[in-house]
Amino acid sequence: MERDTLRIDPDATGIARAAAMLRAGQLVAFPTETVYGLGADACQGEAVAGIYEAKGRPSFNPLIAHVADFTHAEEIGVFNAAARTLAEHFWPGPLTLVVPLRPGTRISALATAGLDSIALRVPSHPVAREILQAAGTPIVAPSANRSGRVSPTEADHVWADLNRRIDAIVEGWSTPVGVESTIVSCLGAEPSLLRPGGVTRAEIENVLGHALADALAETSIDAARPVAPGLLESHYAPRAAVRLNATEIMPGEAALLFGPEPPSGLDAAKAHINLSYRGDLREAAANLFSMLRRLDISGVTRIAVMPIPIEGLGEAIGDRLKRAAAPRPSQRG
CB 293 within 8 A of CB 312: no
User: Which of residues 135, 169, 183, 254 is near ligand TXA by CB under 6 A?
Assistant: 183
Beta strands in the chain (DSSP E): 6-8, 28-31, 36-41, 64-66, 95-100, 117-121, 139-140, 168-170, 182-185, 192-195, 213-214, 241-243, 254-257, 271-274, 302-305
Query: From the list Mg ion, ligand TXA, none, which binds 194 (C-beta under 5 to 8 Å, kind-based)?
Result: ligand TXA
Based on the number of CB atoms within 10 Å of its own CB, is 103 exposed (0-12), middle (13-18) or buried (19 or more)?
A: exposed
Does 64 engage in binding with ligand TXA (CB under 6 A)? yes
Does 108 engage in binding with ligand TXA (CB under 6 A)? no
**What whole-number distance in Å separates Cα of residue 311 and Cα of residue 255?**
22
User: Which of residues 142, 152, 172, 238 is near ligand TXA by CB under 6 A?
Assistant: 142
The contact mask relative to ligand TXA for 116-135 (x = CB under 6 A, - = no) is -xxx-x--------------
**What whole-number distance in Å separates Cα of residue 296 and Cα of residue 293?**
5
Closest listed residue to residue 232, CA positions, set 311, 94, 330 = 330
Q: Which residues of 296-311 are buried (b: 16+ CB within 10 A; e: fewer)?
A: beeebebbbbbebeee
Closest distance to Mg ion from the beta carbon of 166 (Å): 15
**What whole-number distance in Å separates Cα of residue 166 and Cα of residue 50?**
9
Q: Which amino acid is at 59?
A: S
Task: Name the one range near Mg ion by CB under 5 A: 47-55, 98-106, 141-149, 238-246.
Answer: 141-149
Which one, 219 or 274, has the nearer CB to ligand TXA?
A: 219
Task: Name the one range near Mg ion by CB under 5 A: 25-33, 99-107, 143-151, 194-202.
Answer: 143-151
CB 50 within 8 A of CB 40: yes
Task: Name the one range near Mg ion by CB under 5 A: 14-22, 142-150, 278-286, 308-316.
Answer: 142-150
User: Which of residues 145, 219, 274, 276 is near ligand TXA by CB under 6 A?
Assistant: 219
Does 219 engage in binding with Mg ion (CB under 5 A)? no
The contact mask relative to ligand TXA for 149-178 (x = CB under 6 A, - = no) is ------------------------------
Does 231 engage in binding with ligand TXA (CB under 6 A)? no
Largest CA distance in the chain: 61
Which parts of this chain interact with ligand TXA (CB under 6 A)? 32, 34-35, 37, 61-64, 96, 98, 112, 115, 117-119, 121, 141-143, 180-181, 183, 194-195, 218-220, 234
Which parts of this chain interact with Mg ion (CB under 5 A)? 143
